[in-house]
């Protein structure tokens, strides 16, 4: 299959090798391999039911594949639990927003920060010296870096459950960023957003990926072809649990197999532009 | 008038203990959605453990502490051995397992400690009542109430202000999202059971000090059900308020209705009240408007 150029071993952040995943006798993924290069925005596209979300859940650790290897930063992580993967530097957002609806925006984001707290319950109770400094540092990070970036100052103290969908998606992204991840998995970040919100969200993803402060590698699952083709460095096409191709947006758009399986008629792509 | 005031105070004091046990129950429900029907037996075990230590001559506070520690261990074991493998199974299955657990616990208690009523001897609290202005309160009630209030505050602070507490809240709210930010759901479930066991143990010990200890204290522990249904299953403030209401209600029934319907009004009243209350407020006082029905 065209387009896949070998990446230097040092540059590979995430490496999936021959992943098989079955639910009963239904094969959700049959032998999928994917390499994500550090610093890229790598998109995964495919029709509904192709196995994209299953793939994300496998990377994130919610599912365990029956066969295959998952390596993150060179380390084999098949047997590492989802919450431990978070501390390894992996964060994600969900297709259907999963936020802590009863908590405020700030609390949601702070919760993403908790793995970076070093001090224990006792020193926290005394609250002096290192602990106080640590807290101030975390607060500054949350306030200045995340809230400013995502432009959500005005809703900091609102309970997330009360916010409109578009803002909830933003909060979810903020919470994922609070982990300061190296790999950010975005499962359909644009689904259900209006045009303006889509543009904002796409801008945030670019910021997070390109800004020197962040430099986060993104794995993006998305249906909005216009955005995918504009944003991505690499695109991975999945259909019925099999890879169709992996390559640059240009290559993908010109591949007849992809056009047949997914992009379909000319006008579908044109309308989303 | 005196009787009214006395009944009210005693009711509130006992209600404090119910609130404490109910808090433990709510914690489990909030985190994992498990309706725990073994709570009564959990109070029983905690009570017998501290009684055993006390009978061996260990000071009361220390025996209470030991029962907390053992409760903690038993809670984690219960979760790990019985409930961990049920994550993701239908709610009804899990509920039936807690029914099984309640029989198992009760059997174990009868096997180890027998069925005779045992008392804390020498009595921990003096029989001399305490006078607070116009009120005359048994010392047991007063200290039980104080202990329950202190522990309630500790638990609520733990839940609200510590990182672990926040992790528990997060898991209760959205398990998938909690996993994605590095919270271990298994740890949270185990912690919830441990805390519930500890709360039940303290509640049981205090109840055992009031009337002596036998299997029927387990039924008192089962009063958490009307308490939490009243409060709304998943609400911590609801559990506290519900506990107080049930405590007062029970004592009023004992004081005023017992002479017309002798024998057992006190035990039945909370459940009867719960049934009537549900007709008008099916989600309890502060419950989510979405409740698993059994």
Kindly give the confidence (pLDDT) of every residue in chain B, 294 residues in length, as a single tens digit, with 9 standing for 90 and above: 678 888 898 899 889 899 989 988 888 888 887 889 999 999 999 999 999 999 999 999 999 999 999 999 999 999 999 988 887 778 788 889 999 999 999 999 999 998 888 888 888 888 788 887 778 888 888 888 888 888 888 888 888 788 888 888 888 888 888 888 888 888 889 999 999 999 999 999 998 888 889 888 888 777 888 898 888 887 888 888 999 999 999 989 988 888 888 777 888 888 998 889 888 888 888 776 554 444
For tokens 């103290």, the residue is: A157
CB proximity A161 to B under 8 Å: no
Cis amide prior to B40 (ω within 30 degrees): no
Residue A273 confidence class, pLDDT cut points 50, 70, 90: very low
Question: Cβ separation of B180 and A98 shorter than 8 Å?
Answer: yes
What's the pLDDT score for residue A123? 62
Q: In the predicted model, is pLDDT for residue A2 greater than 60?
A: no
| Bridge partners for B132 per DSSP | B135
Q: Does B33 reside within a domain?
A: yes
Beta carbons within 8 Å of A50's beta carbon, 6+ residues apart: A238, A239, A240, A241
Residue B146 sits at the chain A interface (C-beta within 8 Å)? no
Q: Torsion angle of alpha carbons A214, A217, A222, A224, nearest 10°? A: 60
Inform me whether the C-beta atom of residue A86 falls under 8 Å from chain B C-beta atoms: yes
Q: What angle (nearest 5°) sits at the alpha carbon of residue A122, between those of residues A120 and A126?
A: 115
**Does the structure show a pLDDT above 80 at A124?**
no
Task: Kindly report the CATH number assigned to the domain that includes residue B161.
Answer: 1.10.3470
DSSP label at A180?
A: -
What does the DSSP assignment read for A195-216? HHHHHHHHHHHHHHHHSTTT--
Q: Give φ, ψ of A247 to 5 degrees.
A: -175, -170
In this prediction, residue B171 carries a pLDDT of: 85
What pLDDT is attached to residue B293? Answer: 45
Of A50-59, A260-269, B249-258, the range with the lowest mean pLDDT is A260-269
Residues 171-190 of A with CB under 8 A from B: 172, 175-176, 178-179
For residues B277 and B263, give the distance between their C-alpha atoms in angstroms, rounded to a whole number: 23
Q: Is the pLDDT of residue A269 over 60?
A: no
State the total domains in chain B: 1
CB B228 within 8 A of CB B34: no
Per-residue model confidence (pLDDT) at position B96 = 92
- Tell me how close the Cα of B179 comes to any Cα of chain A, in angstroms: 5
Query: What are the residues facing A17 on neighbouring strands?
Result: A69
Q: What is the CA radius of gyration of chain B?
A: 19
- Sheet of strand A41-45: strand arrangement: A90-93, A183-187, A217-221, A41-45, A234-239, A242-247
Tell me, what's the pLDDT at B85?
83
Is B294 a domain residue? no
Residue A264: the pLDDT is: 60
Domain enclosing residue B121, as ranges: 2-280
Residue B180: its chain A contacts at CB < 8 A? 60, 82, 86, 91-92, 94, 98, 176
Burial class for A47, CB neighbours closer than 10 Å (0-12, 13-18, 19+): middle
- Residue B181: which of A61, A101, A111 has the nearest Cβ? A111
pLDDT score for B290: 54
φ, ψ for residue A71, nearest 5 deg: -120, 135
* Cβ under 8 Å to A: B residues 176-195: 176-185
The CA-atom distances, in angstroms, between B162 and each of A109, A143, B115, B156, B166 are: 16, 21, 41, 10, 6
End-to-end CA, chain B: 42
Going along chain A, which residue ranges are E strands?
Answer: 12-23, 26-37, 41-45, 67-72, 75-76, 90-93, 183-187, 217-221, 234-239, 242-247
CB B243 within 8 A of CB B255: no
Place A270 in a pLDDT band, splitting at 50, 70 and 90.
very low
Which residues of A fall within a CB distance of 8 Å from B170? 100, 103, 111
pLDDT in tens, A168-211: 999 999 999 999 999 999 999 998 899 999 999 999 999 999 99
**Number of C-beta neighbours around residue B61 at 10 A:** 11
DSSP string, B89-154: S-HHHHHHHHHHHHHHHHHHHHHHH-SS-B--SS-SS-SSPEEETTEEE-HHHHHHHHHHHHHHHH
The verdict on residue B291 lying in a domain is: no
Q: Enumerate the residues of chain A whose CB falls inside 8 A of the CB of residue B178.
A: 83, 100
0.85 surpassed by complex ipTM: no
């Amino acid at each position: 299959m065209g387009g896949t150029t070998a990446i230097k071993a040092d540059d590979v952040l995430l490496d999936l090798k021959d992943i098989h995943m079955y639910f009963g006798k239904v094969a959700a993924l049959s032998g999928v391999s994917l390499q994500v290069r550090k610093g890229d925005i790598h998109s995964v596209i495919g029709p509904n039911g192709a196995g994209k979300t299953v793939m994300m859940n496998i990377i994130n650790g919610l599912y365990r594949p029956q066969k295959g290897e998952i390596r993150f930063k060179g380390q084999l992580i098949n047997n590492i639990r989802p919450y431990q993967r978070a501390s390894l530097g992996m964060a994600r957002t969900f297709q259907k927003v999963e936020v802590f609806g009863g908590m405020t925006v700030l609390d949601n984001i702070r919760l993403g920060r908790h793995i970076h707290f070093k001090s224990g319950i006792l020193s926290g109770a005394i609250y002096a010296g290192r602990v106080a400094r640590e807290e101030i540092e975390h607060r500054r990070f949350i306030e200045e870096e995340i809230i400013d970036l995502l432009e959500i100052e005005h809703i900091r103290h609102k309970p997330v459950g009360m916010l409109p969908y578009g803002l909830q998606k933003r909060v979810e992204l903020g919470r994922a960023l609070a982990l300061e991840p190296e790999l950010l998995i975005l499962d359909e970040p644009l689904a259900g957003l209006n045009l303006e919100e889509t543009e904002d969200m796409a801008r945030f993803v670019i910021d997070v990926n390109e800004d020197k402060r962040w430099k986060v590698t993104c794995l993006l699952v998305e249906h909005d072809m216009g955005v995918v083709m504009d944003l991505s460095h690499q695109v991975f096409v999945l259909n019925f649990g099999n890879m169709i191709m992996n390559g640059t947006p240009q290559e993908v758009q010109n591949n007849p197999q992809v056009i047949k399986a997914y992009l379909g008629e000319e006008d579908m792509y044109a309308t989303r532009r | 008038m005196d009787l009214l005031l006395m009944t009210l105070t005693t009711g509130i004091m006992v209600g404090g203990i119910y609130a404490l046990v109910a808090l433990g129950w709510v914690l489990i429900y909030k985190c994992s959605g498990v309706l725990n029907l073994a709570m009564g037996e959990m109070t029983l075990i905690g009570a017998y453990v501290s009684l055993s230590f006390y009978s061996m001559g260990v000071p009361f506070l220390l025996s209470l502490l030991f029962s907390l520690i053992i409760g903690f261990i038993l809670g984690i074991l219960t979760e790990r051995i019985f409930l961990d493998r049920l994550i993701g199974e239908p709610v009804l299955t899990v509920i039936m397992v807690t029914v099984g657990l309640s029989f198992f616990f009760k059997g174990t208690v009868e096997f180890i400690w027998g069925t005779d009523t045992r008392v804390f001897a020498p009595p921990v609290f003096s029989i001399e009542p305490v006078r607070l202005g116009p009120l005359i309160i048994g010392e047991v009630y007063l200290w039980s109430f104080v202990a329950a209030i202190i522990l309630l505050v500790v638990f609520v602070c733990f839940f609200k202000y510590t990182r672990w507490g926040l992790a528990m809240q997060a898991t209760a709210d959205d398990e998938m999202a909690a996993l994605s930010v590095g919270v271990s759901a298994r740890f949270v479930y185990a912690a919830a059971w441990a805390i519930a066991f500890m709360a039940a143990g303290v509640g049981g010990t205090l109840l055992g000090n009031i009337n002596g200890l036998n299997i029927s204290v387990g039924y008192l522990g089962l009063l958490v059900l009307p308490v939490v249904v009243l409060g709304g299953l998943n609400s911590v403030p609801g559990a506290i308020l519900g506990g107080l209401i049930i405590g007062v209600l029970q004592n009023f029934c004992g004081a005023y209705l017992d002479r017309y319907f002798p024998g057992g009004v006190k035990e039945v009243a909370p459940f009867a009240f719960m049934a009537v209350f549900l007709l008008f407020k099916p989600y309890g006082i502060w419950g989510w408007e979405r409740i698993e029905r059994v």
